[in-house]
Structure 1
Amino acid sequence: MDVDHPEADQRWNAAARSETEAERLDRNWSTLLQELRVTQTGVQLLTGFLLTLPFQNRFTTLSTEVQVVYLATVICSLAATVLLVAPVGMHRMLFRRHRLRPLVAIAHRFAFCGLLLLGTALTGVAVVVFGAVLGEEAGVLAGIVTAVVMVTAWVVFPLWMRRLDG
């Protein structure tokens, strides 16, 4: 669903797909759920992994700076988990109440924010792991590379593709 241009999106769907608004919302919801299934598993595994780290013997040997990055990473991972799972809970609460339009709109925003937080958490994981294994400078470099690759793949490339469409 093009939240930037909903009227144009509706016209395109009506012309190209012969969809009613309800059919379009059902398709958008189904597509969003498929995307969430992929990300939910990953973010839940990442969060679980992060929550075990303080109980490892080497954790106490990490510098204060790396431990701060770790805590920020945990916060991002937990927040991403909440945002990426929230649409399921919202659907349960709104099920059979004919509230699909606002549900799809807010779930889209939650998914986008959840992905940004997941990317931030992945960047933090790179900093912590490389910092613990190779030193803080390597951790910072790994974090920068991870952030650049993530922003390129998740933001820059899709925006470039949007421009190609007109």
Structure 2
Amino acid sequence: MSEAEESHQRRLARNVNELLQELRVAQAGVQILFGFLLSIAFTDKYASTSDYVRVTHLATVLCAAIAVAFLTAPAAWHRVLFRQGRREDIVRYGNTFALVGMAFLSLAMTGTVLMLAEVILGLWPSIVVGVAAFVVFSGLWFALPSLSSERAQHRESP
């Protein structure tokens, strides 16, 4: 069935299902990361870490918590609104929530890498590793798809 033949309601239903499927992958990862980050504070080694590591850890935990909130919000919206015929709202807001959640997940992943690198390598090398992690996550998840979309639009325009 071509996109033109697909009814508006079917397209919305498909979009909701695709969104929720995509989020299952991200949700599992961020929830595992969140659990790992929470457990760090209860280790013996944590008591002797620097203030820098503790602040980085707290910021990373908060980013992971925010990512969990945004990445699980579309499922909650679907549960609350789907019988009201509000799939359009679920898709529109769910897409925004997913992007915000992925942004915070990229920050949480960067913070985790930064914190681990600081414990292993020290301050300045860890900053280099943290910046590299940020470039990889933001590049793969946001910059490259945006560039690809812009290139496709330029190819389609007369």
TM-score above 0.5, yes or no: yes
CA RMSD of aligned residues (A): 1.4
- Are positions 1:116 and 2:94 aligned together? no
TM-score, length basis structure 1: 0.87
1:94 to 75, 81, 93: 81
Tell me, in whole angstroms, the C-alpha distance in 2 between the residues paired with 1:156 and 1:87. Answer: 23
Structure 1 runs of 4+ with >6 Å offset: none
TM-score, length basis structure 2: 0.92
Tell me, in whole angstroms, the C-alpha distance in 1 between the residues paired with 2:13 and 2:82. Answer: 13
Tell me, in whole angstroms, the C-alpha distance in 1 between the residues paired with 2:44 and 2:120. Answer: 14
Q: What is the CA distance between 1:95 and its match in structure 2?
A: 2.9
1:68 maps to which residue? 55
SS of match in other structure, 1:95 = helix
2:94 maps to which residue? 107
Aligned AA (2:121): L
Q: How many residues align?
A: 153
- Point out where structure 2 has 5 or more consecutive residues left out of the alignment: 154-158
| Deviation string, structure 1 residues 130-155 (Cα, Å, up to 9, x no partner) | 11122122221111000011121111
- Are positions 1:79 and 2:53 aligned together? no
- Are positions 1:162 and 2:149 aligned together? yes
Percentage identity across aligned positions?
A: 36
Tell me, in whole angstroms, the C-alpha distance in 2 between the residues paired with 1:30 and 1:91. Answer: 10
2:124 maps to which residue? 137
Q: What is the CA distance between 1:164 and its match in structure 2?
A: 2.1
1:50 maps to which residue? 37
Tell me, in whole angstroms, the C-alpha distance in 2 between the residues paired with 1:62 and 1:87. Answer: 37
Aligned AA (2:57): Y
- Point out where structure 1 has 5 or more consecutive residues left out of the alignment: 1-13
Aligned AA (1:81): V
